[in-house]
Chain A
Amino acid sequence: MSDRRTISVTINGETFEREVETRLTLSDFIRHECLLTGTHVGCEHGVCGACTILLNGQTARSCLMLAVQADGQEIRTVEGIAPNDQELHPLQQAFQDNHGLQCGYCTPGMLTTLLEFLEENPDPTEREVREAISGNLCRCTGYQGIVAAALDAAKRLQAGA
């Protein structure tokens, strides 16, 4: 008989209460139980970073957590970045303006990672940006557009602050 628990997780301000198998990964919970499919899964062994979410404000790999571990915690995913349905967050806008994405598969992880990083380091160098996203693999862009977007976003965020 499978080991199950009822958990309650707040994602982007909305509370999801579900009964889940204790072995369910957090990434699968977010994607397949809460149907927030913006968070992607690319390796399920903690290397690609596509599954990066913000757990209580800090980035973490959701494929390396069990859903039960998030019980009572706050999560933010890519769906929770834009201020509303019409507008993009300055970081998202910078991605579009600098061709920071192609297939879009690594993008949610890049955005969550950079969101946290730019808060911590609002005026980063290119090297710092590259190291900040070193745990996020992108096979499409060669990172150039992503790095440009991050640097551009830093400027926009500072101007807006």
Chain B
Amino acid sequence: MGAKMFGARVPRLEDPRLLTGRGSYTDDFHLPGMLEAAFVRSPHSHAKINGIDTSAALAHDGVVAVYTSADLPEYLRDKTVPFQVPNPAISQPFQQRLLEGREVCFAGEPIALVVADTRYNAEDAATLVEIDYDILPGAADCKSALEDGAPMCHSTSSNNEGAKYIVGYGDVEKAFAEAHLKHREEYWIHRGGGFAIENRAVVAEYDEIDDMLTIWSATQSPFLVKQNVVDMLGWESDKVRVIAPDVGGGFGPKTVYYVEEALIPVIAKDLGRPVKWIEDRRENFLATNMERDQYWEMEIAVDADGKLLGVRGKMIHDTGAYMPWGIISPYISATTLPGPYVLPTYELETRVALTNKVAVTPVRGAGRPQAVFAMERLMDRAADKLGLDRAEIRRRNLIPTEEMPYALGLIFRDGKPMTYDSGDYPKCQAEALRIADYDGFRARQETARAEGRHIGIGVANYVEGTGLGPFEGATVRIQPSGRICIYTGGGDSGQGHWTTLAQVCADKFGVGVEDIDVQKGDTGKIASGVGTFASRIAVNAGSSVHLASNEVREKAIKVAAHMLEAAEEDMDIEDGRVFVKGSDLSVPLSDVARAVQGMPGFSLPGGVEPGLEATHYFSPSQSSYCNGTAVVEVEVDPDTGYVDILNYSMAHDSGTLINPFVVDGQVQGAVAQGVGNALLEWMIYDDNANPVSATFAEYLLPSAPETPNVDVTHVESPTPINPLGVKGAGEGGTIPAAAAIIAAIEDALSPWDVQISGAPLTPSMIVQKVHSGR
């Protein structure tokens, strides 16, 4: 039998194509007769539209059509993007119209669409569309937006509160009354985006003969796009096919459905020609959803030993001008806060503020980095006040391994009670501390200080619900050539699903991964699907591949037994052949596949159904909880405020690993995003909510010299929730990063006794803190 594939560090099958320039991303499609679209977007964060004149634009070279809301079919003019994930806590679920003709509520909101022979001409004409605006004041900061007298985000509202809810459990009042020590502090985490290097992109083509609409979109969720197209445009489901080709990074913002994904197909059908729209980077800064802005006003109560008694407080979440995904992010924040700790009582009131900015939907980490920041900072404060080591206070509060599964007392976003299924939190923290040489740190720090260098260390823990349901299916099919093909619904934006899903399947047939193809992200290839987000593919699709492969395997054995006239229980599969154990009787899977194709006039061997294939839609009973600990060592230059990350250690438990190579890559990439959130990425708006930092020269992504190597160690606590024991791994690196980095900076600057309560932290903020501490 060949080498075991599952769990091996297998190089990716995706790579040779991508390394030689043979990938096919949405902008790589050049269809005959294709037109290109450019949007006219609001330059104002908030304005009333008095009139739009498109005549000059229409007269421009190469222009085929210009659409405003008035030019759309009647039934679409007031249609808004379908509201995903409603929740009774939401009082003002504003949703975007396809094209806005009356009141724009964020800078970048689409008002008109120009279609021309080239993007160049379309952009020229877009500048010629004349719009008469009455500029209105904008609600910029989410905290002040909720205060009396704030400008309204939508002029029809009487306040900017979009939702309000309380989560919690236990008698918080009593816990605080009995506390040995309490600490209260306000935290702030700033807005940041996904910023995949490929922007969004849509190509749509309508085929009149088949009455079939095909949409290529740089999306993480082709099935959600399809479902929304069907709902919104009222088209027949079997007349719409959505394909996510190669996608150049997702990170959350490409999960959601955007108006552009509805408009481009409408227009392609209307004009009878393929239409392409490629988001440019400026549009990406203005109109692709972001996340993270939250204020937390929190209080912690502990006993004399540093054991947690309770946490309570209030949080304000910035949702932007619209709520396409409701309160998913802030709700995840609220339920993430308790983390890996035994927290006897908890109460959090969340208020969601509407502001005149692009909508907020999940970005890698999805509400968790903020909650972890608040909780971990509280833990640090309690430790400092008690004179306890920051790692020690955590150790004392971690949920003991023997208490797994552990019911938290909260309800998760999937509506089910939150129960941590598995995990060894004490071991995970201990491992992280070990690889970081935490015990040796104080001596290192002393030596460094003697040399005039300021180093510090920070620790942060997190728990993350992954593998969200309801399902992600897979079809496994052995073709008459003997090659195996797997079909699944979620798109791939760099995760390496071809390789990992092939690894799940390969061992069942004793073949190599290179004998397996994976077709993904195409609604034409499998009946149902959901999408690649919330760290869910390995869990859901992986389990479906496992179940489907098992079924195909059984069927192959059954048919081969019939073909070889042997008993099923005497048979096994190896190297792509079904054989009778202890004999040289065997038949290749290709022959088996051919046998069940059927031959006119003959019945199928063994009376089986035709086709050597099976489809499964694995549906997990609940989320599986991954966890981890980050330990970060930094050096800070107190004179310039420069932060150099010296060591970044991470113990990560995402259950069983299908491919450690791929998981390490996910963790490393996710950490880099966390580094950006902690130190670099800052989306600046003026007081009226107009974006200021809308280029890559101003909004700074981490580049190679600023990004640390991550020393990753894996603790494997298989989950009982799915047959593979796997948990999601795509977001864990981001979640504790800001908390651990900021703690380390604070530790490095302890001679000045600085306190840091927010992120990102810029060099000038560091110098300022050092100076006020001096």
Chain A contact patch, size range: 35 or more
Q: Which residues of A contact B23 (CB under 8 A)?
A: 38, 104
Q: Are A145 and B20 in contact (CB under 8 A)?
A: no
Q: Are B197 and A141 in contact (CB under 8 A)?
A: no
Interface mask (B697-713 → A, CB under 8 Å = 1, otherwise 0): 10001011101011000
Q: Whole-angstrom distance from the CB of A158 to the nearest CB of chain B? A: 21
Q: Does B251 contact A (CB under 8 A)?
A: yes
Q: Whole-angstrom distance from the CB of B234 to the nearest CB of chain A? A: 34
Q: Are A104 and B246 in contact (CB under 8 A)?
A: yes
Q: Are A40 and B665 in contact (CB under 8 A)?
A: no
Q: Which of B194, B668, B697 contacts A141 (CB 8 A)?
A: B668
Residues of B187-228 at the interface with A, using a CB-CB cut-off of 8 Å, are: 194-199
Q: Does A147 contact B (CB under 8 A)?
A: yes
Q: Are B668 and A43 in contact (CB under 8 A)?
A: no
Q: Whole-angstrom distance from the CB of A96 to the nearest CB of chain B? A: 4
Q: Does B82 contact A (CB under 8 A)?
A: no
Q: Which of A77, A102, A146 contacts B21 (CB 8 A)?
A: A77
**A130 vs B644: C-alpha distance in the bound complex, in angstroms?**
14
Residues of A84-112 at the interface with B, using a CB-CB cut-off of 8 Å, are: 88, 92, 95-97, 99, 101-108, 111
Q: Which residues of B contact A38 (CB under 8 A)?
A: 20-23
**Looking across the interface, which residue of chain A has its beta carbon closest to that of B23?**
A104
Q: Whole-angstrom distance from the CB of B103 to the nearest CB of chain A? A: 31
With A47-B695, A88-B16 known as contacts, the answer to whether A145 contacts B27 (CB < 8 A) is no
**A143 vs B122: C-alpha distance in the bound complex, in angstroms?**
36
Q: Are B12 and A142 in contact (CB under 8 A)?
A: no
Q: Are A99 and B697 in contact (CB under 8 A)?
A: no
**Looking across the interface, which residue of chain B has its beta carbon closest to that of A35?**
B30
Interface mask (B595-624 → A, CB under 8 Å = 1, otherwise 0): 000000000000000000000000000000
Interface mask (B11-35 → A, CB under 8 Å = 1, otherwise 0): 1101110111111110110100000
- A contact patch SS: loop
Counted as pairs of residues, one from A and one from B, with CB atoms less than 8 Å apart, the total is 177
Q: Does A152 contact B (CB under 8 A)?
A: no
Chain B CB within 10 Å, residue with most, of A88, A96, A135: A96
Q: Does A116 contact B (CB under 8 A)?
A: no
Which of B173-181, B347-355, B586-594, B669-677 is near enough to bind chain A?
Answer: B669-677
Q: Which residues of B contact A103 (CB under 8 A)?
A: 196-198, 246-250, 493-494
With A144-B709, A144-B710, A145-B668 known as contacts, the answer to whether A79 contacts B20 (CB < 8 A) is yes
Q: Which residues of B contact A79 (CB under 8 A)?
A: 20-22
Chain B CB within 10 Å, residue with most, of A44, A45, A101, A142: A142
With A99-B665, A101-B19, A104-B248 known as contacts, the answer to whether A140 contacts B494 (CB < 8 A) is yes
Q: Are A137 and B697 in contact (CB under 8 A)?
A: no
Q: Which residues of B contact A78 (CB under 8 A)?
A: 19-21
Q: Does B495 contact A (CB under 8 A)?
A: yes
With A21-B120, A23-B120, A42-B197 known as contacts, the answer to whether A139 contacts B669 (CB < 8 A) is yes
Q: Whole-angstrom distance from the CB of A4 to the nearest CB of chain B? A: 12
Q: Does B664 contact A (CB under 8 A)?
A: yes
**A157 vs B673: C-alpha distance in the bound complex, in angstroms?**
32
Q: Which of A21, A108, A147 contacts B704 (CB 8 A)?
A: A147
With A44-B280, A139-B249 known as contacts, the answer to whether A88 contacts B19 (CB < 8 A) is yes
Q: Are B195 and A139 in contact (CB under 8 A)?
A: yes
Q: Does A138 contact B (CB under 8 A)?
A: yes
Q: Are B662 and A82 in contact (CB under 8 A)?
A: no
With A99-B665, A104-B494 known as contacts, the answer to whether A40 contacts B19 (CB < 8 A) is no
Q: Are A105 and B280 in contact (CB under 8 A)?
A: no
With A102-B496, A103-B247, A104-B246 known as contacts, the answer to whether A134 contacts B703 (CB < 8 A) is yes
Q: Does A31 contact B (CB under 8 A)?
A: yes
**A131 vs B705: C-alpha distance in the bound complex, in angstroms?**
6
Q: Which residues of A contact B25 (CB under 8 A)?
A: 37, 40, 105
Q: Are A142 and B710 in contact (CB under 8 A)?
A: yes
Q: Does B696 contact A (CB under 8 A)?
A: yes
**A134 vs B196: C-alpha distance in the bound complex, in angstroms?**
17
Chain B contact patch, size range: 35 or more
With A96-B19, A101-B19, A141-B669 known as contacts, the answer to whether A45 contacts B696 (CB < 8 A) is yes
Q: Are B20 and A105 in contact (CB under 8 A)?
A: no
**Looking across the interface, which residue of chain A has its beta carbon closest to that of B248?**
A105
Q: Does A115 contact B (CB under 8 A)?
A: no
**Looking across the interface, which residue of chain B has its beta carbon closest to that of A132?**
B704
Q: Does B61 contact A (CB under 8 A)?
A: yes
**A37 vs B668: C-alpha distance in the bound complex, in angstroms?**
28
Q: Are B198 and A40 in contact (CB under 8 A)?
A: yes
Q: Whole-angstrom distance from the CB of B73 to the nearest CB of chain A? A: 31
Chain B CB within 10 Å, residue with most, of A24, A107, A129, A134: A107
Q: Are B27 and A141 in contact (CB under 8 A)?
A: no
Q: Whole-angstrom distance from the CB of A125 to the nearest CB of chain B? A: 12
Q: Does B661 contact A (CB under 8 A)?
A: yes
Q: Does A9 contact B (CB under 8 A)?
A: no
**Looking across the interface, which residue of chain A has its beta carbon closest to that of B278?**
A41
Q: Does B281 contact A (CB under 8 A)?
A: yes
Q: Does A48 contact B (CB under 8 A)?
A: yes
Q: Are B30 and A107 in contact (CB under 8 A)?
A: no
Q: Are B671 and A142 in contact (CB under 8 A)?
A: yes
Q: Does A70 contact B (CB under 8 A)?
A: no
Q: Are A107 and B704 in contact (CB under 8 A)?
A: no
With A38-B23, A104-B246 known as contacts, the answer to whether A24 contacts B120 (CB < 8 A) is yes
Binding site for B on A (CB under 8 A): 2, 21, 23-24, 31-32, 35-45, 47-48, 50, 77-79, 81-82, 88, 92, 95-97, 99, 101-108, 111, 127, 129-131, 133-147
What are 28 A-B interface contacts by the 8 Å CB criterion? A37-B24, A40-B25, A42-B198, A44-B281, A79-B21, A88-B16, A95-B19, A96-B16, A99-B11, A102-B669, A103-B197, A103-B198, A103-B248, A103-B494, A104-B23, A105-B197, A106-B197, A131-B705, A134-B705, A136-B703, A137-B696, A137-B701, A139-B197, A139-B673, A142-B707, A144-B668, A145-B665, A145-B668
Complex A-B, nearest 3 residue pairs according to Cβ-Cβ distance, in ascending order: A38-B21, A105-B248, A103-B494
19 additional A-B pairs beyond A142-B665, A142-B669, beta carbons within 8 Å, are: A2-B61, A32-B30, A41-B27, A42-B281, A44-B280, A92-B16, A95-B15, A99-B662, A101-B19, A101-B494, A103-B196, A105-B249, A107-B18, A136-B704, A142-B672, A143-B672, A143-B704, A145-B665, A146-B704
